[in-house]
Structure 1
Amino acid sequence: MKLALLGGGGFRVPLVYRTLMSDPSPHRVREVRLFDVDPVRLGAMAKILDSLAGGDPAAPAVVVCEDLADAVRGVDFIFSAIRVGGTAGRAQDERIAREVGILGQETTGFGGISYALRGLPVALDIARTIAEVNPEAWLINFTNPAGIITEATRGVLGDRVIGICDSPIGLARRVLSTLETAELVPAGTAGKVGIGGGEVRLDYIGLNHLGWLQGIQVAGRDVLPELLARPALIESFEEGRLFGADWIRTLGSVPNEYLHYYYYARETVLADREAQQTRGVFLEQQQGAFYSDAQAASPEEVARLWEQIRRDREETYMATNREAAGGVPRDESDLESGGYDRVALAIMHAIADDEPAQLILNVAGRGAAPFLPEDAVIEVPCLVDSRGARPLPVSDVPGHGRGLVQSVKQVERTVIRAAHEGSAELAIEALALHPLIDGVGTARRALALAQDTFGQLSYLR
């Protein structure tokens, strides 16, 4: 197989390449094409991949492309993880959010909407290029906000777009690891999640970064009640410490970590305001230094530096949320990178080899959430084979979450309309309707500041 990585200078590209190298399949990826608009970042990633390959003739060949059409022409799969505006854009979103007194997280609320409005025109151009030069390719989208970008690009490429995220898979693994430690499920059960196998069935539904784990079938038995019955066990893993055992037991399900921004909105905004620097500023400084140092370093030196910085990123992940929850630490096991790379590989093999796999993905719901339009993209367990990805039967969105899901989906679809129509008023409508933004006045101020900051938003009129 041939794979194109769009955003090929992105920091997590080596994770994908390492996973490809570990694939023993006769149908493994043999060529990886890197495309990025930033040549410095692209050069750094090419050095790291060269070091990882270590002269192994079986390692996927790396081809650096300067033209998008050349990158996607003739490949089987396209993995898109672009960031329009870079980490500097994220830092600016956080600054604006602080100025108007709201949350600035990059995929939720104002930050997510601003990020989407910058990224949608580029993502749609990419989809149109794929449709023109390689309409048979499959687009695996990891570009955030993943739900919005996936739904918008489906308008061009249809079911050949599949959105992925590592949050729900990470959540399920942590729950199962906890149950393994308590000897409530067999050892090794957690490792069977997210790699395509069907031995573990997850009952999970919601939107990207807004979903609930409502059941886990292991050998035909739902083991989640075993967890919910034990408060101490709940608070032994990250989401349990973040939300607290009492709240998880009240919900009767385990929420995705990003729901902390909704359930503890005031506490998170206060913690964010009191933080010495925002997450975006930290990443901007960290990555700026890395890419600068990488230019003069050897491939081996760049690879070592990358691994060190990757660990620092994981240690500080969602730091303000953990501070808002009372200073929740991260376990060593939490520092393992998410696993979206393995999900992507499982998708490629399921489609290319017609070997059915079960994975949590972002796809058109087609009735899985009956109160949403059939074509609305949701995050749900899917069966994946040569025909693509199709939702599996799951429990409906829990009653306490339906209003939230419906409101946020309306916001997402309004953002897409704003991008298509170049409408500032629709952008304001999306902002004002979001549950984490307090009113029309705040929405207008936030968008005005964003338009003053980002040239990419000049199309909104």
Structure 2
Amino acid sequence: MRLTVIGGGGFRVPLVYGALLRDHAAGRVTHVTLHDVDPARLTAVARVLADQAAGMPDAPEVRTTTDLDDALRGADFVFSAIRVGGLAGRAADERVALAEGVLGQETVGAGGIAYGLRTVPVAVDIAERVARIAPDAWVINFTNPAGLVTEAMAAQLGSRVIGICDSPVGLGRRVARTLGTDPDRARFDYVGLNHLGWLRGLYAGVADGEDGAERNLLPALFEDEALLTSFEEGKLFGAEWLRTIRSVPNEYLHYYYFNRETVASYRQAEQTRGAFLHDQQARFYDRMAHSATPAWQAWDSTRAEREATYMAENRETAGAGERAADDLESGGYEKVALALMRAIARGEETTLILNVPNRGTLGVLDATAVIEVPCRVDANGPRPLPVTQLAGHEAGLVTAVKAVERCVLEAAESGSARAAVQAFALHPLVDSVNVARRLLDGYRGVHPGLDYLRMR
């Protein structure tokens, strides 16, 4: 089986390759093609992968290329993890937004809109090329904003593009462990959009001799103060708020529920997250330019620092302290990607939380809206499972943000600056139409790739 990674010079590629190295079953991935527009980054990542594969005779073969069409030929799966504008672009997104007093995070608020406006046209081009060159391939999208980009690509690829994210998986696993149940045997009632979802229920099998097939363990969590504040999301949101909303939000909802405090913290920080990662990864790739640098050691130490500082401003705002060892384990997007490929290629049926078209799953959204929900996956792809319907403020947030995403898609397709301004203005975290106009002007000033937007 052949896998192509678009964005193959990206820092997180060794995580994917590590998952492939641990898979020794028949039908496994045997060939990996890394594609990137930056040959130096490709070389650096290929060196890390070579260190990973040392001493493993059945390691998947790796080749690199800067020719996208060449990378796609013969692919069974395509993993899309591009970053249009690089980390310098992410840092610029943050600066422009914070100058207007609003959030610039890469997937939430003004920063997410700016990122989407310059990423969607590139993602659509990739989807068109896949449809032409590798029409039987499945595309696994991790490019942010993941739900928005997946919906854009689905217009070309239909059900053969699937969005993944490790945030909901990590949330579910942390809550399951907190409640003393095996995450691999639990059923999660999780629903929303990418980086805008809630765990509404956690169901586990009943012990032998008890009545019933399964029970919802989540209500017990809200009654136990110690448990409720013992894991990452409990520390971030606080026991009182979680008891109020009677669900456990995805960590990214901290930007919504505590927006004023988070923006203040970001404005006071010595560096934004994007600027920190830009500097950190620049140092890594600079080190990798020297052939004597131990590739795996350099990568792994950089990864550990990256994970330990994740959402540091939010934890500071909440007084959550340093991340606990258990919380450093994400959902493992590379594990999600591998399980997804195995289910489709080998028929190893599994349940995963994925970004897929709604198709009637949520009554508040139309059929083509990409949502993030548990899906049953087999050789035919994913099928959304029934979930608790959204109501109240959750439905309001989801429908509002989906309307923003649709404005971004309209702007990217038509080149309409008016649609782009509308996207900024309608977002719940942007408080003025005038701010929305200045945001677009600011982003066009720092991103030449947004020159396609015109008043029309």
Unaligned stretches of 5+ in structure 1?
193-198
d(CA) in 2 for partners of 1:385 and 1:399?
34
Cα deviation per residue 1:107-156 (whole Å; 9 max; x = unaligned)?
A: 00010000011111110110000010111100000000001000000000
Could you tell me whether the CA contact under 8 Å between 1:431 and 1:443 is conserved in 2? yes
Could you tell me whether the CA contact under 8 Å between 2:266 and 2:272 is conserved in 1? yes
Tell me the residue number matched to 1:135. Answer: 135
Could you tell me whether the CA contact under 8 Å between 1:94 and 1:111 is conserved in 2? yes
TM-score, scaled relative to structure 1: 0.95
Could you tell me whether the CA contact under 8 Å between 1:242 and 1:328 is conserved in 2? no
Tell me the residue number matched to 2:123. Answer: 123
Tell me the residue number matched to 2:209. Answer: none
d(CA) in 2 for partners of 1:6 and 1:55?
26
Tell me the residue number matched to 2:419. Answer: 426
2:438 maps to 1:452: no
Deviation at residue 214 of structure 1 after TM alignment:
0.6
Could you tell me whether the CA contact under 8 Å between 1:212 and 1:256 is conserved in 2? yes
Tell me the residue number matched to 1:69. Answer: 69
Tell me the residue number matched to 1:331. Answer: 324
d(CA) in 2 for partners of 1:276 and 1:435?
26
Q: What is the total number of aligned residue pairs between the two structures?
A: 446
Amino acid at match of 2:435: T
Deviation at residue 232 of structure 1 after TM alignment:
1.5
Q: Which moved more, 1:446-455 or 1:330-339?
A: 330-339
Q: 1:1-20 counterparts in 2 under 5 A?
A: 1-20=1-20
Deviation at residue 398 of structure 1 after TM alignment:
4.0
Unaligned stretches of 5+ in structure 2?
206-213
Tell me the residue number matched to 1:201. Answer: 187
d(CA) in 2 for partners of 1:77 and 1:256?
28
Secondary structure of the structure 2 residue equivalent to 1:101: coil
Tell me the residue number matched to 2:221. Answer: 227
d(CA) in 2 for partners of 1:207 and 1:328?
28
d(CA) in 2 for partners of 1:346 and 1:164?
11
2:348 maps to 1:355: yes
Cα deviation per residue 1:213-255 (whole Å; 9 max; x = unaligned)?
A: 0111111221112212212101000000000011001111100
Could you tell me whether the CA contact under 8 Å between 2:169 and 2:330 is conserved in 1? no
d(CA) in 2 for partners of 1:295 and 1:333?
34
Tell me the residue number matched to 1:195. Answer: none
Secondary structure of the structure 2 residue equivalent to 1:107: coil
2:282 maps to 1:282: no
Tell me the residue number matched to 2:338. Answer: 345
Q: 1:387-402 counterparts in 2 under 5 A?
A: 387-402=380-395
Q: Which moved more, 1:252-261 or 1:24-33?
A: 24-33
Tell me the residue number matched to 1:374. Answer: 367
Deviation at residue 390 of structure 1 after TM alignment:
1.2
Deviation at residue 337 of structure 1 after TM alignment:
4.5
Tell me the residue number matched to 1:440. Answer: 433
| Structure 2 counterpart of 1:272, from 249, 266, 278 | 266
Tell me the residue number matched to 1:148. Answer: 148
d(CA) in 2 for partners of 1:73 and 1:298?
34
Amino acid at match of 1:210: L
| Structure 2 counterpart of 1:260, from 249, 254, 259 | 254
Tell me the residue number matched to 1:236. Answer: 230
Taking only aligned residues, the RMSD between alpha carbons, in angstroms, comes to: 1.0
Secondary structure of the structure 1 residue equivalent to 2:368: coil
Could you tell me whether the CA contact under 8 Å between 1:411 and 1:431 is conserved in 2? yes
Amino acid at match of 2:281: Q
Tell me the residue number matched to 1:22. Answer: 22
Q: 1:32-43 counterparts in 2 under 5 A?
A: 32-43=32-43
d(CA) in 2 for partners of 1:41 and 1:116?
23
Secondary structure of the structure 1 residue equivalent to 2:359: coil
Secondary structure of the structure 2 residue equivalent to 1:104: coil
Tell me the residue number matched to 2:110. Answer: 110
Amino acid at match of 1:176: A
d(CA) in 1 for partners of 2:400 and 2:332?
29
Could you tell me whether the CA contact under 8 Å between 2:170 and 2:329 is conserved in 1? no
d(CA) in 2 for partners of 1:169 and 1:214?
14
Cα deviation per residue 1:364-414 (whole Å; 9 max; x = unaligned)?
A: 111111011111000000011111111001111243311111000000011
Tell me the residue number matched to 2:160. Answer: 160
